[in-house]
Amino acid sequence: MAKPLKNLVQNHLGNVAIIMDGNGRWAKKNALKISKGHEKGVSIVKEIVEESINQKIKSLTLYAFSSENWGRPVQEINAIKNLIISAINDQVPELVEQSVELKFFGDVAMFGEDIISKIKYAESTTKFKNPSLKLNIALGYGGQQDILSVVRNISKDVLKGKVSLDNIDGALINRYSCVPESSIDLLIRTGGDKRISNFLLYQIAYSEICFLDSYWPDFSRLEYINCIEQYKKVSRRFGKRV
């Protein structure tokens, strides 16, 4: 993240996104099966959701499964699918109590009927007029794929006469994108690598980015609060002279 300047007014934190990396390496470090790393990873999500509500964050967007993750071994993919189902079964009642609105985005059709019907149940059960937090989960998502699909679908609608070229602007792109948030204030990546890995390419244009060495299953509420405190103090200029 950029160095803080003499900035007396703290930045407002609306939209946070997290690349939860390091489950596999955490499992290896602890001589466990990779699925145990993902299992522990889900338990950390619960703590981070709680803290996001405490911090009055508007939305938390998590990278649970990328388009490229389909290239992993079938056993691992099946373990993640089972975890998604059990996380929905176990967590939805608590999310309802907390007024957390759950949304899944990406190519979820690839996950099959069991998960699609769970997703429908989770989304329809967690609709709130004033949610305490919007929790968005990327499943089968890739930033490049989303941009491609936006370009294709806008072009189709231009050809059909539904959209005129003059009306193509940022707001229209956001409407055609599957990503629920139009911009991200703070992006956190755990696991030690300093890259974006095809996550929210369009939406992170002016995000503050926090790269952390901790593996996701070791990520803690305290580290999360530290990222948020750093973010609040940073001078965000959006390319302007302030």
Q: Please say which residue, 17 or 154, places its beta carbon nearer to ligand FPP.
A: 17
The footprint of ligand FPP on residues 82-121 (CB under 6 A) is 83-84, 87
Per CB under 6 A, the segment of 17-25, 50-58, 143-151, 220-228 that binds ligand FPP is 17-25
Residues 6+ apart with CB under 8 A from 119: 88, 104, 108, 139
177 phi and psi, to 5 degrees?
A: -75, 150
Number of residues interacting with ligand FPP: please give it, by CB under 6 A: 20
**Residue 191, interface with ligand FPP (CB under 6 A)?**
yes
For this structure, is 69 an active site residue?
yes
Nearest to 201 by CA among 27, 17, 68: 17
Q: CB of 25: closest distance to ligand FPP in angstroms?
A: 3
Beta bridge partners of 101: 134
* Of residues 134-163, those binding ligand FPP (CB under 6 A): 137
Q: Residue 80 interacts with ligand FPP (CB under 6 A)?
A: yes
Minimum CB distance to ligand FPP, residue 97 (Å): 18
Classify 156 as helix, strand or coil: helix
Helices (H) and strands (E) in the chain, counts: 7, 6
Out of 38, 118, 134, 189, which residue is the one contacting ligand FPP (CB under 6 A)? 38
What Rg, from alpha-carbon coordinates, does the chain have?
18
* 180 in contact with ligand FPP (CB under 6 A): no
Residues, the chain, total? 242
Per CB under 6 A, the list member of 18, 48, 64, 204 interacting with ligand FPP is: 64
91: its two tokens: 């967590």
Q: Is 62 a residue that touches ligand FPP (CB under 6 A)?
A: yes
CB-based closest residue to ligand FPP: 24
Catalytic residue among 11, 69, 174, 198: 69
Q: In the annotation, is 21 catalytic? A: yes
Contact between 116 and 104 (Cβ < 8 Å): no
Distance of closest approach, residue 35 Cβ to ligand FPP, in angstroms: 10
Question: Two tokens at 17?
Answer: 């996104």
DSSP, residue by residue, 182-230: S--SEEEE-SS----TTSSTTTTTT-EEEE--S-GGG--HHHHHHHHHH
Nearer to ligand FPP by C-beta: 124 or 164? 124
Q: Is 186 in the site for ligand FPP (CB under 6 A)?
A: no
Concatenating the DSSP letter of every residue in 220-231 gives -HHHHHHHHHHH
Using CB under 6 A, list all residues that contact ligand FPP. 20-25, 38, 41-42, 45, 62, 64-65, 69, 80, 83-84, 87, 137, 191
Catalytic residue list: 21, 69
